[in-house]
Chains A and B, each alone.
Chain A
Amino acid sequence: MTKTDYGFQGLMLMLLIATLLLLCVDFQAAWAEVGEKAAIHEAMGPVETEGNPLTRKRWSPYTTGIAIGVLSWLAFLLIGKGLGVSSSYAKTSGMVEKAVKGEKVYEIEYYQEKTPKIDTGWMLVFGIIIGAFLSARLSGDFQLTAIPPLWKEMFGDNVLIRIIVAFIGGMVLIIGARWARGCTSGHGITGTLQLAVSSWMALFAFFIGGVITAYLLYAVSAL
């Protein structure tokens, strides 16, 4: 029933978004500057196919995708669920609040659902830091930086501005992830691979919201 009720609004929303996306693609042709492309290449480097895979700086996106896909089989088998990240951040928020106000944290309804405790998913997120560190150290890619090259190209090299914008982005990111009940991992890989309609819808919404916002920021940077 409800599906029919909102069908028309949904269709109009999709038309509006499609129009905005077309505008973005149109602008892209005019705005695709050489400087931005060079900055992307500088940061990510070329795909490497020679030598020890562990010490290569960059794998092919297809190799990476297959590795993550096989890892999600292991996750479903061994921990009974797929890869997911964002709910562990909501739990961490609860842990910080629990450290300040103790058991009163459970008066906040959301923390009754996302209990502020270390669980399998939280350990998984912690493991990501270690894994990425190992990968970067093995390939000589580890480097302390505060300003990504593409950011520098678009917005300059003020560290404070970068940190403040990243903070705002992080807030918006987790509010959106918990609102949608999943992020690029939980919906974007784990949910979509199970053929969930909610996750495919989320993946499209991530890209639509992301492309529009990225172009708005890019337009601001060009002023």
Chain B
Amino acid sequence: MLDKLHENRPAQLIIGLFIGILFGFFLQKGQVTRYEAIVGQLLLMDFTVLKVMLTAIITGMIGVYSLRGVGLVELKIKPGSWGATGIGGLIFGAGMAILGYCPGTTTGAVGQGSLDALAGGITGMIVGGMVYARIYPKIKDNILQKGDFGKLTLPEWFHATIPEAVVGVIMIGLTVFAALEMAGL
């Protein structure tokens, strides 16, 4: 039933737009589309971004693994390596601190009227994509392959069952929330 829906291109484009509208709505309602949310988080002065992300991860994890358990969804695990994920992630973090938005919240910031996100952020990201297309052939067979660990998951890595890993992530998340709230952050 769902496979047919996934192959229906016009339906997919409309559903994609609808999901995007909700995503943008929620990001703005959480005020994480603000420069202050991202930079305040990275300066360790405001922890809204971390709270939103960890809550979304826990909620999403419970639902997606339940839906997978009954065969309604398939996982899409991204492969990783130290060279791709580690180095790329550090570069991304630097970009996030300089711009003050991430790709999703830059897009959302445009909707709330932040002209710096439109004139600087979006144009910078489009040019950045062009630059990366030129870098890619030079790094794909060497740096991106360094320390490759493929599509490893946490339960596989820790030799745990999926329910154990899910409960573990929930426990860590709740501990972080409790610590942040007790510290008044």
* Interface of A toward B, CB cutoff 8 Å: 2-3, 5-6, 9-10, 13, 24-25, 28, 32, 36-37, 39-40, 43-45, 53, 56-59, 61-83, 85-86, 89-94, 96-97, 108-111, 118-136, 139, 141-151, 162-215, 217-218
Establish whether residues A110 and B92, one from each chain, have CB atoms under 8 Å apart when the complex forms.
Answer: no
**Shortest beta-carbon distance, B70 to chain A, in Å?**
11
Establish whether residues B124 and A168, one from each chain, have CB atoms under 8 Å apart when the complex forms.
Answer: yes
Closest B residue to A186 by CB, please name it.
B78
Contact among B18, B52, B123, B146 for A167, CB-based, below 8 A: B123
Establish whether residues A209 and B92, one from each chain, have CB atoms under 8 Å apart when the complex forms.
Answer: yes
Digitize B18-32: 1 where CB-to-A-CB distance is under 8 Å, 0 elsewhere: 111111111111111
**Shortest beta-carbon distance, B35 to chain A, in Å?**
4
User: How far, in angstroms, from A207 to B38 measured CA to CA in the complex?
Assistant: 10
Establish whether residues B43 and A28, one from each chain, have CB atoms under 8 Å apart when the complex forms.
Answer: yes
Establish whether residues A130 and B111, one from each chain, have CB atoms under 8 Å apart when the complex forms.
Answer: yes
Bin chain B's interface residue count: 35 or more
Contact among B31, B54, B146 for A58, CB-based, below 8 A: B31
Beyond A69-B63, A174-B132, is A213–B98 a contact (Cβ under 8 Å)? Answer: yes
Establish whether residues B33 and A210, one from each chain, have CB atoms under 8 Å apart when the complex forms.
Answer: no
Beyond A58-B31, A150-B35, A168-B124, is A77–B115 a contact (Cβ under 8 Å)? Answer: no
Contact among A67, A76, A89, A120 for B26, CB-based, below 8 A: A67
Contact among B33, B79, B92 for A206, CB-based, below 8 A: B92
Establish whether residues A127 and B16, one from each chain, have CB atoms under 8 Å apart when the complex forms.
Answer: yes
